[in-house]
Amino acid sequence: MDRRIRRVIAALSLLIATSVVGVVGTASPASADACYTWSRALSQGATGEDVRQLQIRVSGYPGYGGVLALDGSYGPATKAAVTRFQQAYGLTADGNAGPATFSKIYALQDDDCTPVNFSYAELNRCNSTWSGGAVSAATAKANALVTMWKLQALRHALGDRPLVVNSGFRSTSCNSAVGGASNSRHLYGDAADLGAGTQGFCTIAKQARNHGFNQILGPGYPDHDDHIHVANPGTRFWSAPTCGI
Q: Which is nearer to Zn ion, 190 or 193 (CB)?
A: 193
Determine the interface stretch with Zn ion among 32-40, 97-105, 130-138, 222-230 (rule: CB under 5 A).
222-230
Determine the interface stretch with Zn ion among 14-22, 37-45, 131-139, 226-234 (rule: CB under 5 A).
226-234
Q: Which is nearer to Zn ion, 206 or 229 (CB)?
A: 229
Catalytic residue from among 211, 224, 227, 229? 224
Q: Which is nearer to Zn ion, 50 or 193 (CB)?
A: 193
Q: Which is nearer to Zn ion, 20 or 178 (CB)?
A: 178
Kindly tell me which residue out of 81, 229, 238, 240 binds Zn ion, with binding defined by CB under 5 A: 229
Residues 122-151 close enough to bind Zn ion by CB under 5 A:
none
- Report in angstroms how near the CB of residue 238 gets to Zn ion at its nearest: 14
Q: Which is nearer to Zn ion, 32 or 191 (CB)?
A: 191
- Report in angstroms how near the CB of residue 115 gets to Zn ion at its nearest: 20
The H-or-E segment that residue 100 falls in is: helix 99-108
Task: Tell me which residue of 245, 240, 231, 239 sits closest to 67, measured CA to CA.
Answer: 231
Q: Examine residue 193 and tell whether it contacts Zn ion (CB under 5 A).
A: yes
Determine the interface stretch with Zn ion among 42-50, 84-92, 224-232, 236-244 (rule: CB under 5 A).
224-232
- Report in angstroms how near the CB of residue 213 gets to Zn ion at its nearest: 11
Q: Judged by CB under 5 A, how many residues of this single chain contact Zn ion?
A: 3
Query: Residue 156 catalytic?
Result: no
**CB-CB neighbours of 127 under 10 Å:** 15
Phi, psi (deg, nearest 5) at residue 42 = -125, 140
Strand partners, 1: none
**CB burial readout 172-211, b (16+ within 10 A) else e:** eebbeeeebeeebbbbbbbbbbbeebebebbbbbbbbbbb
CA pair distance 14, 53, nearest whole angstrom: 40
Contact residues for 143 (Cβ-Cβ < 8 A; gap 6+): 135, 188, 189, 190, 232
Q: Examine residue 190 and tell whether it contacts Zn ion (CB under 5 A).
A: no
| β-bridge pairing 237-239 and 228-231 | unpaired
Asked whether 109 and 85 are in contact (CB, 8 A), the reply is no
CA pair distance 46, 51, nearest whole angstrom: 7
Query: What is the set of active-site residues?
Result: 224
Residues in touch with Zn ion (CB under 5 A): 191, 193, 229
